[in-house]
């Protein structure tokens, strides 16, 4: 057992009772899914409500979640409403349904197999070492969230797109950040399917960012042609689509999936790294224990590094519990069903909030505290598969999960082996967002060389 005092990170304010659903469409609740969540959400197994003509059920019980995401997954599909929120992704793997989804998943899955990810480990290690060396050589305050984003964008660009410089520009980073932060906002016209007519300046910027991203990736597809050009992930994807479908459809699906993997592929890992750095800085003793493990691991084969940092893996798992990168999982009932005490109607929305699930008082002891021992070998086996969902579950579990975990462990190991993280006098970071949970205002931390 590690002799580390429990650390409870500061929390967004919680309301004492449930708020009317329409409140989510205004103020901070519009921008952040975790702002003002009510205390009962962390105690009840389910809660139901209605927004406009949409009937929804928030579910926290692992058995209910298992039925929706696995046992009866054919009856619970990605809703059209969610697809509206993520229009910039087109009909790529994240948004596709039915046979269309199965076909795309089959084409994409080999890229993220254990052997394929192990083959990318050396590249990840190179970029992790480069980002660690780029930290200031003297103690200085650094926005670690931005460093994490730059590092993961470089890795995803090199690993999947042969390092195309257009995908590494500051302009690309700005557009991606805006699309991710705004992707899940429940704006009134968006709920009605009229997002294109929203005249607000924010929506105009979002549409412009979506056009830039799709236009840039479309240009890369056209330059490569139906042969895929390079022998990389994207080239293989382009070749597969052109081999199986008409050129116009193949081009659009290649762009859709490029957007999905470029945007989501770096964002979730970057968010996890930012929160990891904060939790390291807030727990100096634990940071030193993890550093001892990392120093012994970075000198070996990058492909086996994740297997040689078991304590760091526990740390990452607990970080993902407290700060799950994905903010919500939504499914729509295709037919009537009985889910526990819920009489589900066709069209009902089933919502899982990993933030509340991972901090539920009836599932976890001292749920708001950081406790690395939750994920020790002995304790991890006691955790229900459907009470911990950093990457989802069931058939639609994140296809890039292994890539993200290996990438995060390699980067964290190199950072720990090269630098020490300390808290600054700034206010504690606050999670915000509706697609991923970024730290509002970045993650300023004191970064210093090791003695």
Q: Say if 6 falls within a structural domain.
A: no
User: Would the pTM count as exceeding 0.75?
Assistant: yes
Q: Which residues, other chains included, contact 206 with Cβ-Cβ below 8 Å and sequence gap of 6+?
A: 178, 179, 182
Total structural domains within the chain: 1
Q: Say if 2 falls within a structural domain.
A: no
Decide if pLDDT at 195 tops 70: no
Q: Say if 96 falls within a structural domain.
A: yes
Burial grade of 371 (CB within 10 A; 0-12, 13-18, 19 or more): buried
Q: Say if 223 falls within a structural domain.
A: yes
Q: Say if 12 falls within a structural domain.
A: no
Q: How sure is the predictor about 368, in pLDDT bands with cuts at 50, 70 and 90?
A: very high
**Residues 391-414: pLDDT tens digits?**
999 998 988 899 999 999 999 999
Decide if pLDDT at 196 tops 70: no
Q: How far apart are CA 303 and CA 125, in angstroms?
A: 9
Q: Say if 10 falls within a structural domain.
A: no
Q: What's the confidence (pLDDT) of residue 176?
A: 77
Q: What's the confidence (pLDDT) of residue 1?
A: 43
* Domain span at 70: 21-449
**Residues 139-174: pLDDT tens digits?**
999 999 999 999 998 999 898 888 888 888 888 878
> Own/partner pairs for 230-238, CB < 8 Å, 24+ apart?
230/162, 232/159, 232/160, 232/161, 232/162, 233/111, 233/159, 233/160, 233/161, 233/261, 234/160, 234/161, 234/162, 234/258, 235/162, 236/111, 237/107, 237/108, 237/111
Q: Can you tell me which residue has the tokens 């056209």?
A: 222
Q: How far apart are CA 183 and CA 170, in angstroms?
A: 20
Q: Say if 294 falls within a structural domain.
A: yes
Please provide the average confidence, as pLDDT, over all residues in the chain: 87
Q: Which residues, other chains included, contact 27 with Cβ-Cβ below 8 Å and sequence gap of 6+?
A: none
Q: Say if 7 falls within a structural domain.
A: no
Could you tell me if 422 and 450 are in contact, meaning their C-beta atoms sit under 8 angstroms apart? Answer: no
Q: What's the confidence (pLDDT) of residue 197?
A: 55
Q: How far apart are CA 193 and CA 189, in angstroms?
A: 6
Decide if pLDDT at 189 tops 70: no
Q: What's the confidence (pLDDT) of residue 372?
A: 96
Decide if pLDDT at 235 tops 50: yes
Could you tell me if 408 and 276 are in contact, meaning their C-beta atoms sit under 8 angstroms apart? Answer: yes
CATH number of the CATH domain containing 88: 1.10.630.10
């Amino acid at each position: 057992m590690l002799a580390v005092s429990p650390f409870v990170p500061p929390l967004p304010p919680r309301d004492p009772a449930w708020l009317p659903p329409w409140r989510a469409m205004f103020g901070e609740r519009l921008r952040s899914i975790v702002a003002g969540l009510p205390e009962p959400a962390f105690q009840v197994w389910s809660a139901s409500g209605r927004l406009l003509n949409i009937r929804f059920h928030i579910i926290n019980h692992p058995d209910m979640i298992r039925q929706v995401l696995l046992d009866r997954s054919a009856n619970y599909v990605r809703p059209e409403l969610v697809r509206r929120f993520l229009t910039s992704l087109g009909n790529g793997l994240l948004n596709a349904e039915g046979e269309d989804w199965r076909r795309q998943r089959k084409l994409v899955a080999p890229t993220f197999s254990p052997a394929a990810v192990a083959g990318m480990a050396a590249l990840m290690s190179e970029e992790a070492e480069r980002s660690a060396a780029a930290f200031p050589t003297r103690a200085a305050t650094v926005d670690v969230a931005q460093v994490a984003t730059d590092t993961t964008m470089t890795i995803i660009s090199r690993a999947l797109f042969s390092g195309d410089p257009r995908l590494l520009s500051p302009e690309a980073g700005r557009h991606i950040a805006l699309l991710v932060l705004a992707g899940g906002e429940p704006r009134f016209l968006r709920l009605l399917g009229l997002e294109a007519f929203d005249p607000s300046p924010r929506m105009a910027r979002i549409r412009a960012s979506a056009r830039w991203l799709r236009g840039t990736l479309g240009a890369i597809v056209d330059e490569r042609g139906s042969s895929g050009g390079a022998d990389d992930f994207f080239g293989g994807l382009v070749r597969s689509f052109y081999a199986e479908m008409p050129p116009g459809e193949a081009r659009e699906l290649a762009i859709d999936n490029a957007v999905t993997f470029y945007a989501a592929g770096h964002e979730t890992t970057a968010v996890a790294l930012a929160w990891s750095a904060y939790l390291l800085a807030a727990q100096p003793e634990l940071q030193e224990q993890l550093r001892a493990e990392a120093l012994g691991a970075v000198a070996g084969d990058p492909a086996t590094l994740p297997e040689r940092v078991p304590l760091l893996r526990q740390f990452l798992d607990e970080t993902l519990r407290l700060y799950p990168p994905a903010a919500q999982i939504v499914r729509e009932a295709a037919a009537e069903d009985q889910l526990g005490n819920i009489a589900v109607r066709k069209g009902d929305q089933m919502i899982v909030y990993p933030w509340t699930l991972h901090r539920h008082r009836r599932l976890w002891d001292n749920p708001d505290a950081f406790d690395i021992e939750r994920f020790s070998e002995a304790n991890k086996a006691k955790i229900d598969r459907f009470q911990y969902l950093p990457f989802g579950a069931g058939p639609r579990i994140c296809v890039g999960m292994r890539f993200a975990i290996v990438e995060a462990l390699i980067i964290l190991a190199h950072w720990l082996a090269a630098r020490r993280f300390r808290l600054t006098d700034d206010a504690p970071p606050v999670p915000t967002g509706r697609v991923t949970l970024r730290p509002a205002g970045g993650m300023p931390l004191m970064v210093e060389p090791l003695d």
